[in-house]
């Protein structure tokens, strides 16, 4: 199956669940390999947030992604609808920090995606196929992933509450089943939680039009429950959204008991961690790299040897085999180099921007099976120009083009952009040596 974007743009508006601020959200088609990208049009330069679990900032009453400077709150319903409806690449423009809550479910978003239609793209889908059982357990929560040819979820909740109790719902996630059985399920809370939610500054946009409230003997909502087990279906909806932070469509059977945003993200980290350290005959298995596919951090680390704190790229898209690629780096305020460069005036060192471009080019070369036993060393850096500073919260787009490629030596041109602004450029040569 190939990747999809939306066939045409569309917009929705309404208050955010927690901020209460009215927000307009606009979905626009994106090229193959772009992934899901939030764009904060209300901020200078319209900074972008590429959706991936490394960008998770908070999980209190919802999932927040981005950096301290640029973030988007409560994105799980949108991500759930995009994932389940088969949208791989899309720009999501916001004019505030939190998308509209709509009716508290994902149905308005799923309906709008269906109405807009999907536009197939030439690049194949880049699935993350779970190849072994992975189990996460914390307190009373258990989440398990097992190999599957599709995407199945068995979700259970357990509340010591007379109106909730134990509920369980299982489904193979397809666009049709999602629309009918999952998307309409609304967010919910218990009546005695409301005061504490407001005291912490949350729920300013919440009311009975978008939240189901359970008291000890009654359901308070706009209309009746949409399903007798609506709460567990909404938990499953949230889980789909959080799992989409993997950045690739998931092939797995998921069994979740008492899931929640924090546990969902920790579970996702464990899946990636356990699959990234798999070895075949003592070597990391090279992922299959195809033009237009997004190569995420777990696969990057199978190809190049760099690790934290010197891994300078979050994901890469090969745009022309052996010739061109684009790397992406979200510059967080927590980067270790900002501690000393410079205190009170943090600026990303120019040499590290060049290093990020070089790592992108190394991935392009070393992903070839015949070069899997090689390493790349710098030989020279020429015509380097640093045009604008790169600051915390910026998203770097690293465009590299191979100028010359011989058996052992290569020459590459690199350009780094923040938005539409060229911030750094350089040409560099490197030599391939045996590990």
Separation between Cα atoms, residue 419 and residue 399, nearest integer Å: 12
Query: Is 341 tagged catalytic?
Result: yes
Around 381, how many Cα atoms within 13 Å sit in the side-chain half-sphere?
Answer: 16
Catalytic annotation, pick one of 18, 73, 77, 261: 261
Q: Are 369 and 105 in contact (CB under 8 A)?
A: no
Residues contacting residue 173 through CB under 8 Å, at least 6 positions apart: 84, 150, 151, 152, 153, 182, 240
Instruction: Point out which residues pair with 382 in neighbouring strands.
Output: 427
DSSP for 84-133, written as a single string: HTT--BEEEEESSSS---TTSSSHHHHHHHHHH-EEEEEEEP--EE--S-
CA separation for the pair 345, 53 (Å, rounded): 28
Tell me if 102 sits within 8 A of 222, measured CB to CB.
no
Rounded alpha-carbon distances, angstroms, from residue 53 to 76, 195, 343? 12, 30, 28
Structure tokens at 288: 């299959």
Residues labelled as active-site residues: 261, 341
């Amino acid at each position: 199956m190939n990747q999809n974007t939306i066939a045409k743009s569309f917009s929705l508006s309404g208050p955010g669940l927690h901020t209460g601020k009215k927000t307009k959200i606009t979905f626009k088609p994106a090229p193959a390999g772009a992934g899901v990208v939030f764009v904060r049009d209300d901020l200078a330069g319209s900074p972008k947030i590429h959706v991936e679990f490394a960008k998770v900032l908070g999980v209190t009453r919802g999932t927040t992604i981005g950096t301290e400077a640029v973030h988007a709150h409560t994105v799980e319903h949108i991500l759930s609808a995009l994932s389940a409806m088969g949208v791989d690449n899309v720009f999501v423009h916001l004019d505030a920090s939190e998308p509209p809550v709509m009716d508290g479910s994902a149905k308005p978003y799923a309906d709008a995606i269906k109405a807009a239609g999907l536009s197939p793209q030439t690049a194949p889908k880049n699935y993350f196929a779970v190849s072994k059982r992975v189990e996460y357990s914390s307190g009373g929560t258990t989440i398990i992933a097992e190999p599957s040819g599709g995407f199945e979820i068995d979700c259970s909740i357990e509340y010591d509450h007379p109106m909730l109790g134990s509920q369980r719902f299982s489904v193979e996630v397809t666009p049709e089943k999602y629309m009918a059985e999952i998307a309409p399920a609304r967010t919910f809370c218990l009546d005695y939680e409301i005061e504490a939610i407001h005291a912490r500054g949350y729920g300013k946009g919440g009311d009975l039009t978008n939240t189901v409230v359970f008291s000890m003997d009654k359901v308070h909502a706009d209309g009746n429950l949409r399903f007798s087990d609506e709460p567990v279906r909404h938990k499953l909806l949230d889980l789909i959204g959080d799992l989409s932070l993997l950045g690739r469509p998931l092939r797995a059977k998921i069994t979740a008991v008492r899931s929640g945003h924090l546990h969902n993200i920790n579970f996702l980290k464990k899946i990636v961690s356990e699959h990234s350290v798999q070895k075949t005959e003592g070597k990391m298995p090279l992922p299959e790299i195809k033009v237009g596919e997004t190569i995420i951090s777990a696969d990057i680390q199978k190809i190049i040897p760099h690790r934290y704190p010197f891994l300078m790229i979050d994901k890469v898209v090969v745009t022309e085999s052996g010739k061109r690629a684009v790397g992406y780096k979200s510059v967080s305020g927590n980067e270790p180099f900002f501690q000393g460069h410079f205190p009170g005036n943090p600026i990303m060192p120019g040499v590290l921007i060049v290093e990020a471009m070089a790592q992108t080019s190394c991935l392009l070369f070393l992903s070839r099976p015949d070069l899997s036993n090689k390493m790349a060393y710098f030989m020279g850096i020429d015509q380097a120009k640093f045009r604008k500073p790169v600051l915390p919260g910026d998203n770097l787009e690293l465009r590299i083009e191979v100028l010359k490629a011989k058996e052992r030596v290569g020459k590459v041109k690199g350009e780094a952009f923040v938005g539409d602004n060229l911030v750094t450029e350089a040409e560099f040569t490197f030599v391939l040596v045996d590990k």
